[in-house]
Structure 1
Amino acid sequence: MDIDPSTTKYLISAKLSTDGIVEKPDIVGAIFGQTEGLLGDELDLRDLQKSGRIGRIEVEVSSTKGKSEGIVYVPSSLDQVETAILASSLETIDRVGPCKARITIEKIEDVRVSKRNKIVERAKQLLNELMKASKVSGVDLADSVRQSVQIEEVIHYGKERLPAGPNIDDSDAIIVVEGRSDVLNLLKYGIKNVIAVEGTNIPQTIVELSKEKVVTAFADGDRGGELILRELLQVAEVDFIARAPAGQEVEELTQKQIVKCLRNKVPADQFAEMLNIQGPSTKNGEKTGRRDEDRGERRRPEDDRGRHGREREQKPPSRFQEEKPVKRFSPEQLRWKGVLDELVNTSKAKILNASGNVLKEVHVSTLADTLKEGMEGVTSVVLDGIITQRILDIAVEKNISTVVGVKLGNIAKLPTNVEVLTKEDLS
């Protein structure tokens, strides 16, 4: 059925049955012929069709066993009253050609309602497509903005132009990762004191930074990550080791996984002993001395069992067996030593007053900002980390008399009015 939508408000559907075989032209002719003059000039079918107020009459007819049945469709753009009158006039037709006929109106359909229903259904489809497209574009937009910000935050550090976060110089602690993708992933979650080694050949920039800052090496959970850690521990002064879960890379970790890995970091000495790695000598000889003594103690029973054991027994005592002069500490120094021992492997700092009471305990990464806030009564600071020039400058500014730490960083100007003590000074 082909109905012209431009001339249709209503659609009349009429059921036709005849006692003989008829065809479409017979039915259309009977409709025009038997309704002519029936409803007056205003509702004459021929005039209405010429003026476009009714559309083309469509007929669907089939014949079986000498009889015909079908449906007649009359599109109308008349008003409801005129359409109803026109429909009822069709039921007056009693013959089609030579055959008796019966026409019964089945329904008058408001085509605009059907159109509205189609419009609603189509609008739902279009809205769903629009919402999906908006969500996707919104996600893409957020990701692209986030990625562009991350890329803008990546700087090139040192003569090797290593990918790094913007807070490398300002932070007392840094995180060393493998590549640029790892740096981008940590920047994504707000960790900006990160720098990449860009391969297994550790750059000199990393070695120099490790002398001044607290270094956490954050490696992939695969064989490649272990190889990088081995080289780092041999050439740089690494303080802590963090690993991604087995088989995963730092660049693919979520924020929750990254935080968990960094919280579960282990001291570098402990990790090095597990892998039997010999580390570099530090600026004040602390790490090398301790490891040399350990190796000396372990070596002696092995030497006794060796091939030249008897000869070695007759040799004079080695330098490890010579008695060292006993250091004498003041009560105040013993107190600093006790506080420093309490902070071992915690990466925290204690801020104390003149009576030795702890005013506040903070992480070493936030120590400088905390001291700048200007707490009342601060006379000394003990930290499980490296004493940096920045900490000493703040100590001078805030009239802090004593600063105690694990070791001394790269200090350009040592203040005369601040007592600076390291772990080596207290051991």
Structure 2
Amino acid sequence: MRTTGAAIIIFFIILIIETYVYQSLKLLVKNLSAKKARLIITIHWIIAAFCMAAFLYLQFSPRTAQPETIRTYLFTVIFAVYLSKFFGVIFLFIDDIRRFILFIARSRKAESSGKKISRSKFLNWMGLSFGGVMFGSLMIGLKNKYNYKIFTHFLGFNNLPNAFKGLKIVQISDIHSGSLKNKEAVAKGVELIMQQNPDIILFTGDLVNLVAEEFEPLKDIFKRLNAPMGVYSIMGNHDYGDYYNWDDKTPEQKKKDFETGRTVLSPLQKKNIDYLQDMQRSIGWKMLNDEHVILEKDGEKIALIGVQNITGKGKRFQTYGNMAKAYQGVKDIPFKILMSHDPSHWDTEVLSKYPDIDLTLAGHTHGMQFGIELPGFKLSPSRFMFKHWAGLYKQGKQMLYVNRGFGFIGYPGRVGIMPEITVLNLG
């Protein structure tokens, strides 16, 4: 939810970043000819002015009046430019700390020599170079938005009924239909899912970005998903339309929603949710809204539980789900799988109140669509927001798997964290 206060704070941070970069550029071009120096500084401020104007346009013009393609590309440019500059400025900030320490040390001497403590050209070059590498990575990452990767895991459970040993689950999450413009690439992703020969397909929420209509162009493609035991889905935070400016909500109600962290659905918003769920049912997906199904095979049973969005992040995301309602009636089932969009729910409720939930499947984080993943090592800014943000986690006998997302939102790309199709083999 956009607020004027947050926009002003972000804009102020942008101005600080631009000031830092400008001071660095002045040092680096001072040995060039006056003409070349002016050209470089002018180009810097032209790009800066464009980015700041674009930011103000995105924040303060009605979102419904912003063409989707233009909005996406403007966001991409702003995101890439200022994320790159932010990391570059870190080096400049380190240099300022160095200069401050030197200043304090010299001021303790009798009447300092009066010489200025100059910026380090090395750190200036390091900052701008690092920012350039970051910007280049983000540009290259634009090619990875449909670069689907298969993540396969074999999970062992002592209490899994014998009839279900070898069960192959394919999990997908965070499709974000409004961002997916290349239908041919999406179709290849769906084909890749079906090539895994899943016994059951589980979708853990965020089918759209803002409104249900985004799914219409892709409905026939995702209708191709099928599995012997069915395709099941739950709601993610984006699926409720909380980030859309509904005309039938008063300013007072919008303010109350933001302050309480709980959205009261307007008639139009509820209609949007109903339409989104109806479309999923029309293509054969079975919605689990705070409910469960019992899966049977050779006389043995496991429970599949699905909750609406439940968050452990306070007001940042809304909670709609009711875990107690979904759980009711499955206590005596020997093995339980939970679909819950937000992985923070595992920490705040599942582990403490439901120790017999064997496997929880979540999404939501996208791994921030940016990071590093190497064998035995993974790092992303997402880890500073979520304790569990990508892959498999274990605590005691319980497991959590966080899918990195099939689609994308905001930045239309992936750097290091690829779009994911999860294959889980139970044994």
Report the structure, 1 or 2, having the larger strand content.
1
TM-score over 0.5 (shorter chain): no
Q: Give TM-score scaled by structure 1 length.
A: 0.26
- Structure with more contact order per residue of length (Cα contacts < 8 Å, sep ≥ 6): 2
Larger Rg: 1
